[in-house]
Structure 1
Amino acid sequence: MTAAALATIRDVVQRRSGIAMAADKDYLVAARLEPLLPQLGVATTVALADRIGRQNDARLAMLVTDALTTNETLWFRDGRPFDLLRDVVVPDILERRAAERELRFWSAACSTGQEPYSLAILLAEDTARLAGWRWRILGTDLSATAVARAREARYSQFEVQRGLSAHRLIKHFSKDGEAWRLKEALRAAVELREANLLSLPPLGPFDAVMCRNVLIYFDVPTKRAVLDAVAARLRPGGWLLLGAAETTLGITSAFTPHPEHRGLYRRA
């Protein structure tokens, strides 16, 4: 690809997703777009960039962004955030929301669904504390392809082995041919929608939001805009869980870090 073509592609991805792709990732751009060319009826990546530059084609921009963004995920990813949900976040919400007896969670950038469904499993297993409570989970992602897979809730043997114990697999999934499908009760507890963190629709209010390993791809102004948009959709005193390499400090005053637990923030 030419430098001009690569610059066009990077600009489209940043405007659509907020992800700032460094020039040293150009090799990755070319490698990921090559398999897309036959589907789009385009001979070369240079021709693809030219088409994107000349046309205001939302579907084309979505397909290119999907190809270039990372949808890496697994069950109960990183472990610690789910421990914090169980041991810190949920007990606090139960105390503050005792009158309503309702919990609402949002998994932002949920990819193919493992994060919101992991949260659903965690809550479904917390039968003693949550007896008589209603709870709902929203999962959103920029990628239409990822959201469609999440709605299907059908995972390969390789995918279920990444983070799921054998006990949880047998308890919460049914065999579906060569794959496994999450049982209906948990699928019904999770709503899945396409949503762009740069232009969020009205959502919430939520008691807690998981927005992990997303901010690392944004520049500071984009991080600030996303964090402020998330804060606006949290209840007063609501919780935010970020990835280990992410922070709100020096970016926005909308959140206060937990004094003891890294990655956990409270809406100010």
Structure 2
Amino acid sequence: MACNELDYAYLRELVKAQSANTIDPSRNGLFDTKLTPIARMAGARSLKDFVDQLKTDRQAHMHRAVAEAMTINETSFFRDLKPFEMLRESILPRLIAQRAEQRRLRIWSAASSTGQEAYSMAMLLAEHFPATMGWDVKIVGTDISRYVVEYARRARYRRLEVNRGLPARMLMKYLERDGEEWIVHERIQSMCEFRQVNLCAPLPVMPQFDLVMLRNVLLYFTRQDRTVVFREVHRKMASDGCLVLGNAEQAEDSTNLFEVEFAANCYCYRPVPVS
């Protein structure tokens, strides 16, 4: 038996409550694609039966599994090249100059999915700012999905994944082939760590970040949830740090905690001091 609109509405509300992601009714078909394997593992004969189980049993771990499965995990190495050019040409040189005395840099990939953004940042530093390889550099990738966090920690990618956005020269320089997979070099891995974090919940103990990458995730949040996210991000940022959003995302419509510095193919913001 197929799900009806009430079932899909229940699933949309469940995902929103668990992760703050808003799924438009026009995308109901995603539930069939992404939740059918979970339904089978739960012993349900159909997605409809699985929804009935969720409504009846209300097991927290199954609700989390649904939310994780529906989290948008689209990513690639050096996704949207223009922001990385902006980082290389403007943002990172300034931050590195400001941190030259401390020789310490903290970067947060705040919706890191399977880890390509975090590893791309590490490769960018190694390639264009080799002096920082002697610094105390840590790139923290976070995501709500336990599965993608574990995937990122493996640092192993299939051919299709490395062919998306990763120049051949950098592939050969920073990854090593192992059968049908490519493994990120240990030096690049050592710069990155990955944690499971819900952006819309109070954030765990983390360092003050010099640079926060929060790209292509706020599109799925309501304005109220975006306000919560911006407040939490602001608390975790250095006063002279930078926040980078995607080219279709803006902070001004949800918060007054950041001011735009420039917007060229993506948005770069500076924190506003809280009086």
Query: Is TM-score (shorter-chain normalized) higher than 0.5?
Result: yes
- Range of TM-score over shorter length: over 0.9
Rounded to whole Å, the distance in 2 between the matches of 1:165 and 1:128 is: 18
Rounded to whole Å, the distance in 2 between the matches of 1:76 and 1:206 is: 20
1:41 to 40, 43, 49: 43
**TM-score normalised by structure 2 residue count:** 0.92
AA in 1 matched with 2:197: A
1:71-90 matches, within 5 Å, as: 71-90=73-92
Pick closer, same or farther for the CA change 1:131–1:158 going to 2, 3 Å.
closer
Number of residue-to-residue matches in the alignment = 268
Post-superposition offset of 1:47: 2.0
Rounded to whole Å, the distance in 1 between the matches of 2:133 and 2:52 is: 57
Deviations 1:29-53 (A, max 9, x none): 2233223221111112222222222
Rounded to whole Å, the distance in 2 between the matches of 1:254 and 1:56 is: 37
**TM-score normalised by structure 1 residue count:** 0.95
Residue 159 (structure 1) aligns with: 161
Pick closer, same or farther for the CA change 1:16–1:43 going to 2, 3 Å.
same
Rounded to whole Å, the distance in 1 between the matches of 2:4 and 2:53 is: 14
Q: Establish whether residue 252 from structure 1 lines up as the match of residue 255 from structure 2.
A: yes
> Is the deviation greater in 8-17 or in 29-38?
29-38
Post-superposition offset of 1:100: 1.2
AA in 2 matched with 1:197: L
Q: Establish whether residue 101 from structure 1 lines up as the match of residue 103 from structure 2.
A: yes
Instruction: Say what the alpha-carbon RMSD is for the aligned residues.
Output: 1.5
Pick closer, same or farther for the CA change 1:124–1:242 going to 2, 3 Å.
same
The DSSP-based 3-state class of the residue aligned with 1:73 is coil
AA in 1 matched with 2:117: E
Pick closer, same or farther for the CA change 1:171–1:131 going to 2, 3 Å.
closer
Residue 265 (structure 1) aligns with: 269
Pick closer, same or farther for the CA change 1:91–1:42 going to 2, 3 Å.
same
Structure 1 gap segments, 5+ residues each: none
> Is the deviation greater in 225-234 or in 1-10?
1-10
Post-superposition offset of 1:171: 0.6
Rounded to whole Å, the distance in 2 between the matches of 1:74 and 1:88 is: 22
The DSSP-based 3-state class of the residue aligned with 2:37 is helix
% identity of equivalent residues: 37
Post-superposition offset of 1:128: 4.7
1:179 to 153, 178, 181: 181
1:54 to 36, 52, 56: 56
Rounded to whole Å, the distance in 1 between the matches of 2:150 and 2:248 is: 28
Deviations 1:96-125 (A, max 9, x none): 223311110000110111000000001111
The DSSP-based 3-state class of the residue aligned with 1:74 is coil
Pick closer, same or farther for the CA change 1:3–1:131 going to 2, 3 Å.
closer
AA in 2 matched with 1:209: V
2:246 to 229, 243, 248: 243
Rounded to whole Å, the distance in 2 between the matches of 1:2 and 1:222 is: 28
AA in 1 matched with 2:236: R
AA in 2 matched with 1:267: P
